[in-house]
Amino acid sequence: MNTGPATHAAHTPPAPQFATRAQQEFAGSFGMWVFIASELLFFGPLLFGYLYLRLHFPQGCAAASRHTDFWLGTANTAVLLTSSLLMALAGQAAQAGLRRRAAGLLAASAALGLAFLAIKGWEYHAEFNEHLFPGVGFRPEAGGVAQQWPGMQLFFILYFAMTGVHALHLSAGILACLWLALGLRRAAPAGLPDSAVELAGLYWHFVDLVWIFLYPLLYLVGRAGG
């Protein structure tokens, strides 16, 4: 626990298996961090597959990365970073007992998350149309020699897998934010506890962390023509 529990929380009794509210909240934070560690390992094979790919098909990777949309990817990164700020502010507001402000910030984060998904969906749409989706229909039209196609296709397998799994996680985060925003409208203990915002924040920041690494790996390879 970083600071003392908010005034609201001090009045709500802990769940029956816990002795004190503080113990419960610490267990919640610790549990979320353990979950985040497991999620890091969940993305691990994709990252290792990417490493294999970069080492074995450097030109294919570069050619494929040039087919991703640099501006949309960069914009999306900024969107997600901003949503993280809003989540951090929401956590701070909840800790101070300002449930209404926290709910508003959560809704705003969710909105930015939806914006991210919309931009991503637009990118996917464009990539489908350019025949960049791996499988029998794979056929990059501009750039990339035929020998590079195996590497390019492997890149796009990982691209769609990594961004797809990331988008799934983001969607879960958006739902959590919306549910929390609704749950905070009623005062504790009938509504959700303030500490839930911190937990949702941790998860959201993790999803942002994943994207922070996906961005250079997928969008910035070979931009200088190397």
User: Which residues ranging from 105 to 144 are in contact with other proteins (CB under 8 A)?
Assistant: 134-139
- Beta carbons within 10 angstroms of residue 85's beta carbon: 14
Residue closer to other proteins by CB (options 190, 224) is 224
Nearer to other proteins, 121 or 216 (CB): 216
* Pairwise CA distance, residues 131 & 183, whole Å: 43
| Nearest Cα residue to 149 out of 73, 217, 57 | 57
Among 111, 126, 182, 202, binds other proteins (CB under 8 A): 202
Looking at the Cβ atoms of 37 and 175, the one nearer to other proteins is: 37
Smallest gap from residue 203 Cβ to other proteins (A): 10
Cβ-contact 198, 157 below 8 angstroms: no
Pair of tokens at residue 224: 């200088």
Shorter beta-carbon distance to other proteins: residue 135 or 142? 135
CA 80 to chain CA mean position, Å: 8
Q: Which CB sits closer to other proteins, 183 or 201?
A: 201
Distances (CA, A) of 46 to 4, 30, 38, 201, 213: 39, 26, 14, 24, 12
Cα dihedral across residues 189, 195, 201, 203: positive or negative: negative
Shortest separation between residue 157's beta carbon and other proteins, angstroms: 5
Return the residue of 5, 113, 151, 173 that touches other proteins, per CB under 8 A: 151
x/- contact string, 175-194, with other proteins (CB under 8 A)?
--------------------
Q: Which is nearer to other proteins, 82 or 171 (CB)?
A: 82
Q: Which of residues 51-90 bind other proteins (CB under 8 A)?
A: 51-53, 55-57, 70, 74, 77-78, 81-82, 84-85, 87-89
Amino acid at 6: A
List Cβ neighbours of 178 (8 Å cut-off, separation of 6 or more). 106, 107, 110
Give the Cα separation of 102 and 26 in Å (integer). 20
**Piece of 48-56, 116-124, 172-180, 184-192 that binds other proteins (CB under 8 A):** 48-56
Question: What DSSP element (H or E) covers 116?
Answer: helix 99-129
Q: How far apart are CA 158 and CA 219, in angstroms?
A: 12
Kindly determine how many residues on this chain lie close enough to bind other proteins according to the rule CB under 8 A.
82
Q: How far is the CB of 101 from other proteins (least distance, A)?
A: 9
Task: State which residue, 77 or 163, has the beta carbon closest to other proteins.
Answer: 77
Please, which of residues 1-40 interact with other proteins by CB under 8 A?
1-2, 16-19, 23, 26-27, 29-31, 33-40
